[in-house]
Structure 1
Amino acid sequence: MSTLAFDGRVREVPGVAGYRVAAHAELGSTNSAALAAAGEGDPGNLWIVAGRQTSGRGRRARPWVSEPGNLYASLLTIDPVPPARIGQFPLVAALALADAVDTMTGSYGLIRLKWPNDLLVDGAKISGILLEATMLADGRRAVVCGFGLNLSHHPELPDYKAANLAGLGFPVGPERAFEALAASVAQHMARWREAPFSQTLDDWRRRAVGIGAPIRVRLEDRELNGIFSGLDPDGRLVLETGDTRQTIAAGDVFFDGAALGTSAPGQPAG
């Protein structure tokens, strides 16, 4: 039976114990549908997949282009880890997606990671990851991680370079992409819960771009310039500005072309 039947029915994910999936031909937003399922009492470990989104969104409510042919999938979890560790989730998700892309393309090491959770190929962004959380009536926390992966097309936007796997020479369909993602996420979620987070950080750093390079960090109320000196033990960005060091939990990071391994000066990273 097909992993993604696109009929809205909830099924077990083949080969991934403890996870279920409901695939829809079209949804407004897979994240919104996953949050709605949590509000209706779903126990979690539920994937919501859409062939197309009509109201997809990225960080800070930016629109996310969601035409057919790409992968749009959101995972609902309930209290995946203690609240103090939720901030580590973006790095776990990015590493899981990077490993999944290696698997689905058979090209290991293709992906580089830009803090906290952007996937790059030759400096071009190929994905988006959006985490959202809400408290349920019984006091539990529902956390949804949405993945958008450019398989067959990508947006042409003025503020950053984007690409898709087919255009890079790796034709992959949504079903194959979801199978690889579901297996990889299950593996990384288990390690996140059971092993020291330092293992995830070490793997993330091996794929990282820009460590040691000058960066610009755009926060909600200001921008900061400094050196990306590394990550703290919880995966927050450490920025050196003059004689001071500060940790940043969330923000938009921009590198120059050299830091990304590209020749485009001033190219923002995402």
Structure 2
Amino acid sequence: MGERKSAGDRWTIAGGRGSWPVLRFPEIGSTNDEALARARAGLSGERWFVADRQTSGRGRRGRVWTSEIGNLYASALLIDPCAPEHLPEIPFVAAVAVHAAVAGRSAATLPALKWPNDLMFAGRKVAGLLLESSRLDDGRMAVAIGFGVNCISFPAGTETPATCLLTEGLTIYPEVLLADLDATLRATLADWDRGRDFAAIRRRWLAAATGLGGPIRVRLADGERNGLFEAIDETGRLVLVEEDGRRRLVSAGDVFFPPVGGNEVK
């Protein structure tokens, strides 16, 4: 069952009609690992897995995710949320949901989304998402959506500059943010309708996107490409217009923006 030290009691989201049950842990290896392990052990239905601190937190491509106390580390467990071909859409659903949760508390500067699913304030990363899945014995798919949101602190020296909500003028406690995120994720999943209306999610994602229409550099498995960030296509792939005018569809990669004040925005 992962590396947890001790399990907390089930934590109910206050005031949330239809809210998902919460399993909270003072310390755990990874909330995603715990969610998928519980699903393989027979847990059914949507759940939140929340930790005050993770000892083995990770981001995309296995990057270490620093997990200091005071930030939000939560995984949403979904069982059989869609047909397999729609699984790549879920990170965009989750990104739209976390954007809505944070934007709903921001009275001034609004956050933006960086492809595929980072939440940014003025070029600095405040939240990241990690989707992982596991095939269950009965053939269904268990999906864990991991959310890491910097509420009061952020790591220094990261390749992508980081920030936290407090630095951006937002005092949002993790349990409050989780309640907001529970509501926005459930609503966004309903709008997505198991992949039947990804077009609606795509429109909302593009409306919140940073760098759209501007120059970007994309790091791919086979090298780097430069061009303009035109859009995302109907499946969520980044549409890169290269310097020779050709369009490249990118399914996975790291996006970097031009230098701002002498520092490249990554």
Q: Is this a same-fold pair by TM over 0.5?
A: yes
User: Compared with structure 1, are the counterparts of its residues 73 and 158 closer, same or farther at alpha carbon in structure 2 (3 Å cutoff)?
Assistant: closer
- The one-character-per-residue Cα deviations of 1:147-180 (angstroms, maximum 9, x if unpaired) are 0000000001242211111112211111111111
Cα RMSD over matched residues?
1.8
Q: Percent identity?
A: 43
Query: Is the 1:16–1:186 contact (alpha carbons within 8 Å) kept by the matching residues of 2?
Result: no
Query: Which residue does the alignment assign to 2:151?
Result: 151
Secondary structure of 1:9's aligned partner: coil
Matches within 5 A, 1:150-189: 150-189=150-189
Aligned partner of 2:198 in structure 1 is 197
Aligned-pair CA distance for 1:222: 2.2
Structure 2 SS opposite 1:254: strand
Which is further off, 14-23 or 122-131? 14-23
8 Å contact kept, 2:71–2:151: yes
Structure 1 residues 80-138: Cα deviation after superposition (integer angstroms, max 9, x where no partner) = 111111111111111100110122x2427611111110111111110110011111111
Q: Which moved more, 1:78-87 or 1:242-251?
A: 242-251
Question: What is the CA-CA distance between 1:13 and the residue it aligns to?
Answer: 4.0
How many angstroms apart in 2 are the aligned matches of 1:28 and 1:201?
A: 33
- Long gaps (5+) in structure 2: 1-5
Q: Which amino acid aligns with 2:241?
A: E
Q: Deviations over 1:33-87 (max 9, x none)?
A: 1111111111131110000111111111111100100000001111211111111
**Given that residues 126 and 149 in structure 2 are in contact (C-alpha distance below 8 angstroms), is that contact kept between their aligned partners in structure 1?**
yes
| Contact 2:11–2:24, Cα closer than 8 Å, also in 1 | no
Q: Say whether the 8 Å CA contact 1:113–1:208 is kept in structure 2.
A: yes
In 2, Cα distance between equivalents of 1:224 and 1:54: 35
| In structure 1, C-alpha distance between the alignment counterparts of 2:17 and 2:233, rounded to whole Å | 32
Report how far residue 248 of structure 1 moved.
1.3
Counterpart AA for 1:141: M
Q: Deviations over 1:212-246 (max 9, x none)?
A: 22211112332222221111112211111223212
Which secondary structure state, in structure 2, belongs to the residue aligned with residue 256 of structure 1? Answer: strand
Is the Cα contact below 8 Å between 1:256 and 1:265 reproduced in 2? Answer: no
Aligned to 2:128: 128
Aligned residues of 1:134 and 1:141 also touching (Cα < 8 A):
yes
- How many pairs are equivalent? 258
Q: Which residue of 2 aligns with 1:118?
A: 118
Change (3 A) 1:232 1:243: same
Q: Which of 246, 249, 256 in structure 1 is aligned with 2:248?
A: 246
Q: Any gaps of 5 or more consecutive residues in structure 1? A: 1-5, 258-262
